[in-house]
Amino acid sequence: MEFALIWFIMGSVQTKAMTADNIAAVFTLATASERTIHATWYDDARSAAIAIADATGLGLETVVGVIAALSPNNRWERNLVDAENVCRTFVADPESAASVKVCTYGKMLEKAIKVLKCEEPEQIPGILNGRKITSFFHCIMGDQSDVCVDGHAYSIWIGDRLTMKQVPNIGKKLYQTITDDYILATKIVNARHNLTLKPYQVQSITWNTWKRIHGV
């Protein structure tokens, strides 16, 4: 049985139903304002990407891929500015794109340029490669089978506030387990509160609620 699966995390034992319920429990702590504002975060991000796509003539998947590539260690507002600058420069002069200043790692700019050069949108996730930035791409695109998992999302899942140093390496298998539990938690939340939220919306709401509660 799925709910009989046991996860050994941080020295504790929790069932799959328990870890999903940890997520649902944080959702109940969200204020009405948090539920409204953060439910639309990824939709708003997609609207911003559409605006850049319209302004540059690039495809939406391409722009979202550039945004995702330039997201590591980058504030969201700056992430958008960097993405637009890189996209506009590439359209005007592809060779100049590599010299655009961005507030992330140089290798991520290289990855963004590879995305811009890609002629097959379905290949963009493979170019991004990194699990978290690939999830970021999927969520902005509205994919209901993926969520972004970071240290805060992990703490929510395990039901305990951990420092970033305490969060274990989230490998591929664990990442998928946590993703599956966010999807399950979304079903729980929707059933309990008579809602129709998507997994990435529940992740956004709980992530921001968790940060507010713990002052992080």
User: pLDDT for 135-179, tens place per residue?
Assistant: 999 999 999 999 999 999 999 999 999 999 999 999 999 999 999
Query: Are residues 64 and 100 both part of a single domain?
Result: yes
Look at residue 133 and tell me if it is in a domain: yes
d(CA 169, CA 172): 10
Alpha-carbon distance of 197 to 188, in angstroms, equals 10
Query: How would you class 199 by CB atoms within 10 Å of its CB: exposed for 0-12, middle for 13-18, buried for 19 or more?
Result: buried
Query: Same domain for 54 and 123?
Result: yes
| 204 in Cβ contact with 38 (< 8 Å) | yes
State the virtual CA torsion across 95, 98, 101, 103 in degrees, nearest 10: 150
What is the chain's alpha carbon radius of gyration, rounded to the nearest angstrom? Answer: 18
Residue type (1 letter), 92:
A
Where a domain ends, among 79, 106, 140? 140
Give domain status of residue 189, yes or no. Answer: yes
**What is the number of other CB atoms lying within 10 angstroms of the CB of residue 103?**
14
12 pairs with which residues across the strands?
A: 9
Task: Fill in the amino acid letter for 151.
Answer: G
36 in any annotated domain: no
Q: Domain of 121?
A: 42-140
Residues 165, 93: one domain?
A: no
Residues contacting 73, CB < 8 A, separation 6+: 103, 104, 105
pLDDT digits (tens, 9 = 90+) for 130-146: 999 999 999 999 999 99
Percent of all residues in the chain with a pLDDT value above 70, rounded to a whole number: 93
Q: How many domains does the chain have?
A: 2
- Clarify whether residues 126 and 208 are in a common domain: no
Q: Quick check: is 37 in a domain?
A: no
Global confidence as pTM = 0.90
Q: Looking at the predicted structure, is the pLDDT value of residue 92 above 80?
A: yes
